[in-house]
Structures are given as structure tokens and as C-alpha cells.
Amino acid sequence: MKKDILRSQRTGDSCIHVKHDSGLDIYICEMKGFSTTEALFGTKYGSVNTMFKMRDDKEYTTVPEGIAHFLEHKLFENEDCDVFELYAKTGANGNAYTSFDRTCYLFSCSKNYQESLKILLDFVQKPYFTKENVDKEQGIIGQEIQMTNDNPEWRVLFNMLRCMYHNHPVKIDIAGTVESIAQIDADLLYKCYNTFYNLNNMVLAIAGNINADEVLDICDEYLKPCEDKGLETVFPEEPDGIVKTEIYEKQPVGTPIFNIGYKCMACDGRERLTKSIALGIASGLITDPSSDMYQRLLKEGVINSTFCSEVFNGDGYFSVIFSGESEQPEKVRDSIIGEVKRMAEEGIAEKDFQRAKKVMYGEIVRGMNNVGAVAGMMISAYMSETQPYDIVDVVSEMTSGKVIEYIRSDLKSDRLVMSVVEDGENA
């Protein structure tokens, strides 16, 4: 078992990477002088992974939507007790989440990290599914789905994604539908668990007041070696174009809310990271409160301080999303189209670009002094097949010319979608 030291030449920060004999990738960042520890144990398995096969399989297996999220819920119940009871004894805060492309189990603590790490590694490797506990969970998650269906922020996002994507499962709610989760049984959960919770498809990231050798000793004790079975995931073919340009839904909201998104070309690895940074700077300049467009729309009462942007991407999908509240979302959309066109034709003022770049770089460096941010950075790098400190280099090397290049290639007006939730009874 070889320890590699990964170091940022620019900031001086470093972490340890180990490819464990069990197959697990482990990232450890010792942060001396910090009082807390955060650990994440994650798998490359999210809501979009509904079609897969192993090396020896002849056919792809297709599973119901929402099963990754369902599995996450069930892993917290083992045969003996609830995992949260175990964390309560060590004083740790435990949690988990399922997103589009990953599932992560985590804890944070200020002491006893060794015992909490043992709990984390132990329960994630001990699935316990029965007909009774699966049936019970179907009712619980069914209620959760109904709640998100009544959540305007959730609806405005997924309505937008359904307008963007013809076939890619990113358009499906992470929890699935009441109909899809009704198809889930214990056998299916075990099949998905044994496929995606293979340690060769997983990562442990831990940062804070820890000792690397202690962490690795615990890993040696608790990790069960796994054969790499050659997992392959696949997605339906996705056209470049969008499904439709706009969608409106009525929900009880005080002010209409909107998501305005560009469907961009999907990519992987370092290219995805570079595009994320470039388009993050571009969209950030548009939503910057000091920008001409922002100030004009604010004075006209078209937007308020909720106006913001984000880059949203993963395996097979990539988009830039603008969101906020407005009585005139069409005017916001037209203004964004106009500003993107202007930037593509005229370029970006170098002083504005440098300011946005420095803000982004400063946020990253500040995150290096936050235990949770460091653990998150390490696990995100693994999930995107990059190195933890690549983000520092990509931001440092970014140029205004590269930002303009991505604006021209990816922010196309014919791939723009607007989703609005406005006040009224549900249709």
C-alpha cells in the first residue's frame, strides 16, 4: 500500500492519497491545529445510474428510478440497531445524501474520530434489506416525493431539466416517483448494492484533526477486499438540442420564481473542471450586483437580490442556470441572452475578469481552512476523475480568452430553457 503526497505548488496545501489493498481510494488531509474532523465515504452511484452491467454480463440491467436514494435510506438501518444511535455514543453528527451522480455517508465530530470512522466503514459495508423494511420505506419515501412535488424550488428545477433533456435521467427526480419506487424490492437493492458499493467504485475522504497512520490502520481492519468486476454505466443517447424553450407551472408562491438554463455540451475530467470554472466566471459576471445589467434590472424592479447563477454538471450533463424571483421572467431571460451575445462579440473587460477570478480563487483558498470544504474537495475530485488541487491550477491559469471561448461554444440561445413557477392553484 503506497502513500502518495498530493501537493498544491501554489498554496502549499497537501493531502495523502492511498489506493488501498481492498480497492478503495482513500484521501487524507491532516489539518493540525483544527479541532474538528469530517469524513465522507462515497460511491459513484447517483440517481442517473439506472442502466449498468459488469464485465461478465451480456446484457445491461435497468433498474427503477430512485433506487440509489432508496438504498441510501436503508443502509442506515442494520440488523441490530439504528446507525444514528451508534454515532450518538461517540458524539458525532452523522448524515448522508444522494445526488445525481454520487451517494455519500458522512460524519463530523470534535473527538473520538477513530470510533466514528469505524462505525462509518462498518455500516456502509453491511447492507440489511428485508421485505418488511423495504415495504415500510416505500411509504416513507413516497411521502417525501409528495413533499418535493409541492416544493416550488424543486419543481422549477426539474421542470427546467425536463425541457432540456430528451433522454438523460438527470431530468428525473432524485427520489424517483411513487410508481418507480413501488417496483423496488430487497433483491434489487442487493443487486445495486453489490454492483455500486464495490470498494473499487468508492472513496473515503477524511480531513481535520487526524493522524493518517491511525486512519489507515482502521481501514486495514474494517475494509473487506473487493474484486474489481469492471462496472460499466451507460446513458441513453442525448441529442444536442432541447425539448422545448419554456414551461410554466402554478404553485402557491408570493412572487414567481424562475430557472433559466443553457444546455451545454457534456464533457469529463479536467475539461469539465475547466469549463465549469470558465462558465462559472462568465455567469458570475452576469449576476454580479455591480454589473450594468444587474443594476438596470434592479432599478426597474425586474429582479431582486435572489438573482444568482450556478454551473450544474455531472456524468453526461452540463448546464449553466440563472435563478431568482421576478414578475417579468421573460425580461430577465431576454436580458441574459443580450448580455451573453454582447460578451461573445465584445469580450470581457480585463478588470472585471480579474476581479471575478480573484474572488473565485479567494473562495477556494479560504475553503482550504475549512475541514468540511477540504473533505468535500477531495471527494469531488475523485468523482470527477481529477486531482484535489487541480481546481487551484485551473483557476490560476484561466484567461478571459478561454472564458469567451466557452461562452461562444456553449451558451447558445437555441439551447436556452426557461422554467417559471407562478402563483396559483396546482394545475
Residue (of 7, 3, 32) closest to 18 by Cα position: 3
With cell 470534535, the residue in question is 110
- CB count within 10 Å of CB 47 equals 24
Query: How far apart, in whole angstroms, are the C-alpha atoms of residue 7 and residue 17?
Result: 10
For residues 70 and 182, is the Cβ–Cβ distance under 8 A? Answer: no
Q: Helix axis angle, 390-397 relative to 269-287, nearest 10°?
A: 50
In this structure, the strands spanning 93-98 and 51-53 are: unpaired
Is residue 333 within 8 Å of 260, Cβ to Cβ? yes
CB atoms within 10 A of CB 351: 8
* DSSP 8-state code for residue 6: E
Residue with cell 481492498: 22
Starting at the edge strand found earlier in the chain, the sheet holding 317-325 runs 246-251, 416-423, 257-263, 317-325, 308-314
Q: Which of 184, 185, 186, 157 is nearest to 172 (CA)?
A: 157
Q: Using alpha carbons only, what angle is made at residue 27 by residues 24 and 33, rounded to the nearest 5 degrees?
A: 145
Contact partners, residue 416, CB within 8 Å, separation at least 6 = 242, 245, 260, 261, 262, 263, 333, 336, 337
Indicate which residue of 38, 72, 137, 339 is catalytic: 72
Neighbours of 124 (CB within 10 A): 25
Q: Cα-flanking dihedrals φ and ψ of residue 380, to 5°?
A: -65, -35
Grid cell at residue 25: 481510494
Whether residue 179 lies in the annotated active site: no
* Helix residue ranges, H only, 182-268: 186-196, 212-222
Q: What b/e sequence results for 298-336 when a residue is b if at least 16 CB atoms lie within 10 Å of its CB, and e otherwise? A: eeeebbeeebebbbbbbbbbbbbbbbbbbebbeebbebb
Cα(296)–Cα(303) distance, rounded to whole angstroms? 9
CA distances from 265 to 31, 43, 262, 385, 411 (A): 38, 25, 10, 18, 10
Catalytic residue numbers, as ranges: 72
